[in-house]
Structure 1
Amino acid sequence: MSSRSKSAVVTGASSGIGEATARSLAEAGYHVFCVARRTDRIEALATEIGGTAVTCDVTDAGQVDALAAAIGERLDLLVNNAGGAIGVEQVTDADPEGWRRMYDVNVIGTLLVTQALVPALVASGAGTLINISSTAGHDVYEGGGGYTAAKHGVTAMTGTLRLELNGLPVRVTEIAPGMVRTEEFSLNRLGGDQAAADDVYAGVDEPLVAADIADVVTWVATRPHHVNIDSLTVRPIAQAAVHKVHRTT
């Protein structure tokens, strides 16, 4: 990494939005630390984009400390993307363990990584912190109680950080995607049922894809540093709201 290169950390970089974001930021000139649990995937990605792979479970404080040590004293951009949904049960039928896992990954993972890397963002003199939330962080819907609760937590944390870091050279942004078709999100949420995962997007003309969100992340990160994009909601044109999706079939 040259002394002139800007550095970026992207968590959840082994697939989906995180993987696409790592590629987009590398194209924009960042040296990207590709962070995820699946070593084989992030090593292949880092080799492809000229970045650095760091295996890390963001819910493990010891591994997050090791991540901070690997990054060093200076960091320009942190993209907290690691997260996910589990299950579609109603609140009265939900498995508490699934809720705990969603809260642990989406909220506590974001908290641990942020705590570990904010000093390096400050040290850069012009740091940017982007949290990937969801429209589920702003609305609720049936079958989404645990996920919406977790993403509301990310939204609240992001707004609080913006207040608490005010006066320091760190911008804080929340990006809230709506319907994004990726290879794993709905599949993981629905317990590996590929047919059910495909049904989520059935009849939807051009749902967003990971590269669309990656493009937004890169745009936010490359604004002049005095410009802070507080929050961006990004949906496909077919989706007017969480409950309002136009389907052709």
Structure 2
Amino acid sequence: MNTVAHSLSDSATMLRRQLRRMQRYPSMTLMLIGMPVVFLLLFVYVFGGTLGNGIGGVGGGRRAYVDYVAPGIILMAMASAAQGTAISVAMDMTEGIVDRFRTMAIWRPSVLTGHVIGSVLQALLGIVVVVGVAIAIGFRPDASPVEWLAAVGLLIGFAFALTWLSLGLGLAAKTVESASNSPMILMLLPFFGSGFVPTDTMPTALRWFAEYQPFTPLTETLRGLLTGDPIGDAGAQAVGWCVGITVAGYLWSKYRFDRTASH
């Protein structure tokens, strides 16, 4: 077996391992997917009437707000999946399974590759559930096939970015408990962006932070693609954030993994 075939085979094996872990721990998967759904229902049915009237839109009220908030909740679902990635990696690092892998004739990066692909698939599953619930409660995207493809591409790119970042967080964590807490900032960032309310309604300092953190251009781009709102330069910023986070997360994860493997 040549090197490429060997690496692909090992990566596929590690991916199957991650998918079986999802089956073995369904409560974690349900929690990671269920939390964004809870936030969606909470904001639409509890706050949606007032917030929807404030942002305007067709019909106002909950009808307008579900169209506004759904893209932010979709990105929150991806951030929630990142927490599961960090926990999964930390479990591998603390339970000794990686030490066992080192004694086997496997392509060493396949351990990370399996985590990455498995986590992206889990994130996409969460997105499908959130979009399904959003449509059930009134979300009506107005995207063309090309815009849908662009939205899916953006989500896959951001899923890879957050996965590599969360891999680094999991590898850097000393315990599984700390790994579960470290990605929480990713869950909070959508609240401090344009995911739930327009940034121009925020105080000056908070508005400055909201406009220059990654979730705002990603939210604006996804919202524009799905609902027909203008995107402006948010699209270029969103792609830039995806590329930057992916590169930084990959280099950090590789450094942490190689450093651990050398000990």
Question: TM-score normalised to the size of structure 1?
Answer: 0.29
Structure with greater proportional helix content: 2
**CA radius of gyration, larger in:** 2
